[in-house]
Amino acid sequence: MNNWNLEGKKALVTGGTKGIGRAVVEEFVSLGAEVIFTARDVVAVHEMEREFQRKGFKVYGVAADAASQDNREKLANFLTNKWDKLDVLVNNAGTNIRKGTVDYTIDEYRKIYEINFFSAFELNRLCFPMLKASGNASVINVASVAGQYDVGTGSPYATSKAAMIQLSRSLAVEWAKEGIRVNTVSPWFTVTPLTDSYLANLDKLKQIVDRTPIGRVAQPEEVASAIAFLAMDKASYISGQHIMTDGGLTSGIF
What stretches of 135-201 show up as alpha helix (H) in DSSP?
155-175, 196-199
Give the pLDDT confidence score for residue 208 in this predicted structure.
87
Task: Kindly report the average pLDDT of the chain as a whole number.
Answer: 95
Give the pLDDT confidence score for residue 100 in this predicted structure.
94
Under the banding of pLDDT at 50, 70 and 90, the label for residue 1 is low
Mean pLDDT confidence for 238-252: 94
> How many CB atoms sit inside 10 A of residue 99's CB?
11
Percent over 70 (pLDDT), the chain: 98
**Core vs surface per residue 65-80: b (16+ CB within 10 A) or e:** bbbbeebbeebbebbe
Catalytic residue, candidates 109, 157, 198, 237: 157
Helix (H, G, I), strand (E, B) or coil at 7: coil
Is 113 an active-site residue?
A: no
Give the pLDDT confidence score for residue 151 in this predicted structure.
85
Cα dihedral 153/140/14/29 (nearest 10): 130
Give the pLDDT confidence score for residue 200 in this predicted structure.
87
Q: Is the pLDDT of residue 254 over 70?
A: no
Mean pLDDT confidence for 103-109: 96
Give the pLDDT confidence score for residue 253 in this predicted structure.
60
Per-residue pLDDT of 151-198, as tens digits, reads 888 999 999 999 999 999 999 999 999 999 999 999 998 988 878 888
Burial (CB < 10 A; 0-12, 13-18, 19+), residue 215, is: exposed
What's the pTM value of the predicted model, to 2 decimals? 0.95
**Which domains are assigned to the chain?**
10-190+219-245 (3.40.50.720)
